[in-house]
Amino acid sequence: MKSRPGFVLEVDKSTPPILVWHGEGFKVQKMPVDSRIIYPKEPISALEDPDTAVRQALENPLGDTKPLSELLFPSMKLTIAFDDVSLPLPPMEAPDNRQRVIEAVLNLAAEKHVEDVVLIAALALHRRMTDAELKHCLGERIYNSFAPNGLLLQHDAEDPDNLTYLGKTEKGEDVEINKRAAESDLIVYININLVAMDGGHKSVATGLSSYRSIRHHHNVATMQHSRSFMDQSNSELHSSNWRIGRFLANEGVKVFQIETTLNTDTFPKQFSFLQKREWEWTFKDRLSFSSVSKALELTPGNLKTSIFNSIKAPHRLTSVQAGEVEAVHRVTTENVYHQQIVQVDGQSDILSLGLPYISPYNVNSIMNPILVACLGLGYFFNLYKGKPIVKKGGVVIMSHPTPLAFHPVHHPSYIDFFDQVLSETTDPMEIQTNYEEKFATDPWYRHLYRTSNAYHGVHPFYMWYWCAHALDYLGRVIIVGGNHQAVKRLGFASATTFNDALEIAQDVVGSSPSITHFHVPPIAIAEVS
Partner 1 sequence: MPTSKTYKIETYESKANSIKFAIRILRQKFKNKAKLSGFILDRPTYPVSIVQPDVESKLGVNYDTSWSRKPLVRAVRSIVRESVARPFFAAVAAPQVIGLESLTLNNPPYIFTANHASHLDTGLLLTTLPYEIRRNTVAAAAADYFFDTRFKAILAAGILNAIPLERTKVNRSSAKLAQDLVEMGWNLVIFPEGGRTPDGWGQPFKGGAAYLSIRTGVPIVPVYIHNTRALLKKGSKKLTTGATKVVFGNPIYADEKEDARKYAVRIENEVASLKNEIGKDYYSSILNKHSATTPLLQSDIKSKWLRSWLSEEANSSNKKEVLKWPKL
Partner 2 sequence: MKAIQLEKSYAKFAGALVANKLRGHGSSMSSMPLRLSELNEFRLPGDEWTYIYPIMSGICGSDIKTIQAKSSRMLEHLVSFPFVPGHETVAIRADNNKRVVVESLLSCKALNIDSCEFCKQDLIDKCQCQEFSSIAPGLQIGFTKDIPGGWSEFSMAHSDQLYEIPDDMSDEDAVLVEPMACAIHGVLKIQREMLNTFNDIPLVAVIGAGTLGLCTTAALRHFYKDSIKILTSTKYPYQRKLAKICGSDYHSNTQNYLTTVRHLTGSFITGPALTYGADVVIDCVGSKESLHAAITTVKPGGQIVLTGMPSKANLDLSLLWQRQITLTGAYTYSTEVSHLNNANNAKTFELAINASKEMGLGRLVSAKYSLDNYEAAIEHAIDAGKRDSTKIVFTNNKADLIKKLQRRIQ
Binding site for partner 2 (CB under 8 A): 415-416, 419-420, 423, 438-439, 441-444, 447
DSSP 348-371: EEEEEEE-BS--TT-TTS---HHH
CB of 90 to partner 1, least distance (A): 11
Packing angle, helices 459-466 and 428-440, rounded to 10: 160
Measure the CA–CA gap between 59 and 124, rounded to whole angstroms. Answer: 29
State the Cα–Cα distance between residues 101 and 136, nearest whole angstrom. Answer: 14
Nearer residue to partner 1 within complex by CB, 76 or 508? 76
Segment lying near partner 1 (by CB under 8 A), choices 222-230, 245-253, 403-411, 505-513 = 403-411
**Cα–Cα distance for residue pair 498/481, rounded to 1 Å:** 8
CA distance 6 to 277: 11
The option from partner 2, partner 1, none interacting with 70 (CB < 5 to 8 A, set by class) reads none
Q: x/- contact string, 106-125, with partner 1 (CB under 8 A)?
A: x---x--xxxxx--------
Nearer to partner 2, 70 or 419 (CB): 419
Minimum distance of partner 2 from residue 366's CB (angstroms): 17
Residue 310 binding target from partner 1, partner 2, none, CB below 5 to 8 Å by type? partner 1
Single residue of 94, 132, 303, 437 touching partner 1 by CB under 8 A: 94
What length is written for the chain?
529
Distances (CA, A) of 343 to 168, 230, 261, 340, 377: 40, 15, 21, 10, 21
Please report whether residue 270 would count as binding partner 1 according to CB under 8 A.
yes
The nearest distance, CB 406 to partner 1, in angstroms, is: 6
Residue from 415, 429, 504, 508 touching partner 1 (CB under 8 A): that is 415
* Nearest CB to partner 1, comparing residues 241 and 288: 288
443 binds, among partner 2, partner 1, none (CB under 5 to 8 A by kind): partner 2
Pick 312 or 450: Cβ nearer partner 1: 312
Among 14, 149, 233, 511, binds partner 1 (CB under 8 A): 149
Cα separation, 405 vs 44, in Å, equals 37
- Shortest Å distance, C-beta 213 to partner 2: 23
C-alpha span between 93 and 42 (Å, rounded): 19
Question: Strand 77-83 relative to strand 186-193: parallel, antiparallel, unpaired?
Answer: parallel
User: Using CB under 8 A, which of the segments 138-146, 320-328, 337-345, 514-522 binds partner 1?
Assistant: 138-146
Q: Any contact of residue 310 with partner 1 (CB under 8 A)? A: yes
Give one word for 523, left, alpha or beta, with left for phi > 0 and alpha for psi -120 to 50.
Answer: beta
Sign of the CA dihedral with 445 first, then 311, 494, and 514 last: positive
Binds 381, which of partner 1, partner 2, none (CB < 5 to 8 A, cut-off by type)? none
Contact present, 87 and 192 (Cβ < 8 Å): yes
**Nearer to partner 1 among residue 279 and residue 444 (C-beta):** 444
Residue 202 parent element (H or E): helix 202-207
Which helix (H) or strand (E) is 472 found in, with range? helix 468-473
Binding residues (CB under 8 A) for partner 1: these are 94, 106, 110, 113-117, 140-141, 144-146, 148-149, 151, 268-270, 288, 291-292, 310-312, 404, 406, 408-409, 412, 415, 448, 452
